[in-house]
């Protein structure tokens, strides 16, 4: 079994090196951020036509300005919770035998991947804050104003938890590669379901039953929908506290599942390839 007790200086070195590696792609981060906003144009135009047809009526408590603000905020939530190539990378390392280096060196795989993802997000937002600020400034008229301090604190907490939830959830899918080797089909199904039930396509409040109850019962809403609702002031007070508690519980749940999958996966791993 791998040794998980690593000197803090080692983790700091890994973090610093990961920052330096990610800074190489700073131009790609900036351009990629701007490209993220292009698909929103189609959605905004679609909803504009819908609300014009409704002649001022709201949809599930959303006015047109709320919908535009919602989509912009969903992008922030998705940018925190999305983990490009994490699952595929873990599964490929298992399949190719590269993962054995984590079994013979005193470096914990899950901790290593988490540190590198933190570095990735820090660099990404350090570079992307300019394009984000520009777009949000141009779209400031769609927001009714800044939320209060408590709401902002809850929103920031929900984004951090969304990052952790997204990481452990996708890491768990990748670790299933110990049993199936190839997880691309499973990941495709997950991404398809995630696109709908994380609130990326439309606010989950618009879902009819039983889909609304299903969306509430699974963790995907906490990747994008929940943080957005917090910022918009639709979740406050006891509902905010309870929502953050459930979100934290899902983070702990998938963190434990990752450890269990790693523990039993290593037992059956043959270390071929590499």
The whole domain housing 249 covers 8-268
At 251, the pLDDT band (50, 70, 90 cuts) reads very high
Asked whether residue 141 is assigned to any structural domain, the reply reads yes
Q: For 32-75, what is each residue's pLDDT tens digit?
A: 666 777 777 787 788 888 888 887 677 877 888 888 899 889 98
The predicted model scores a pTM of 0.86
Asked whether residue 31 is assigned to any structural domain, the reply reads yes
Tokens of 272: 């071929």
pLDDT at 3: 43
The kind and range of the H/E element at 49 are helix 38-54
Q: For 133-161, what is each residue's pLDDT tens digit?
A: 887 888 888 888 889 999 999 999 999 99
Number of domains in the chain: 1
Asked whether residue 274 is assigned to any structural domain, the reply reads no
Asked whether residue 1 is assigned to any structural domain, the reply reads no
Asked whether residue 224 is assigned to any structural domain, the reply reads yes
Tokens of 200: 């990326």
Tokens of 87: 């699952």
Tokens of 45: 């135009």
Question: What end-to-end distance do the CA atoms of the chain give, in Å?
Answer: 19
Q: Count the helix, strand and coil residues of the chain and give each as a percent rounded to the nearest 5.
A: 75, 0, 20
Pairwise CA distance, residues 112 & 98, whole Å: 14
At 120, the pLDDT band (50, 70, 90 cuts) reads confident
Among 78-87, 158-167, 238-247, where is mean pLDDT lowest?
78-87
pLDDT at 167: 96
Residue 147 sits at the vertex; the CA angle it makes with 142 and 148, to the nearest 5 degrees, is 165
> Does 1 score more than 50 pLDDT?
no
Asked whether residue 14 is assigned to any structural domain, the reply reads yes
Pairwise CA distance, residues 210 & 192, whole Å: 19
């Amino acid at each position: 079994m791998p040794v998980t007790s690593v000197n803090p200086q080692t983790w700091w070195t890994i973090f610093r090196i990961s920052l330096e590696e990610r800074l190489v792609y700073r131009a790609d981060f900036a351009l990629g951020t701007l490209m993220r906003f292009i698909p929103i144009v189609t959605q905004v135009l679609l909803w504009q036509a819908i609300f014009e047809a409704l002649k001022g009526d709201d949809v599930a408590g959303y006015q047109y300005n709320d919908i535009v603000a919602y989509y912009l905020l969903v992008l922030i939530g998705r940018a925190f919770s999305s983990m490009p190539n994490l699952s595929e990378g873990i599964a490929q390392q298992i399949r190719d035998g590269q993962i054995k280096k984590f079994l013979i060196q005193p470096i914990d795989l899950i901790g290593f991947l988490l540190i590198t993802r933190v570095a990735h997000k820090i660099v990404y937002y350090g570079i992307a804050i300019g394009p984000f600020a520009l777009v949000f400034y141009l779209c400031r008229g769609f927001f009714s104003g800044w939320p209060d301090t408590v709401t902002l604190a809850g929103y920031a907490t929900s984004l951090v938890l969304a990052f952790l939830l997204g990481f452990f959830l996708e890491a768990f899918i990748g670790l299933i590669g110990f049993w199936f080797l190839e997880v691309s089909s499973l990941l495709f199904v997950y991404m398809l379901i995630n696109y709908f039930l994380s609130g990326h396509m439309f606010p989950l409040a618009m879902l009819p039953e039983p889909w609304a109850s299903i969306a509430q019962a699974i963790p995907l809403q906490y990747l994008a929908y929940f943080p957005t609702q917090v910022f918009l002031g639709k979740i406050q007070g006891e509902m905010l506290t309870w929502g953050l508690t459930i979100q934290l519980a899902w983070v702990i749940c998938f963190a434990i599942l990752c450890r269990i999958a790693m523990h039993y996966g290593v037992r059956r791993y043959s270390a071929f390839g590499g």
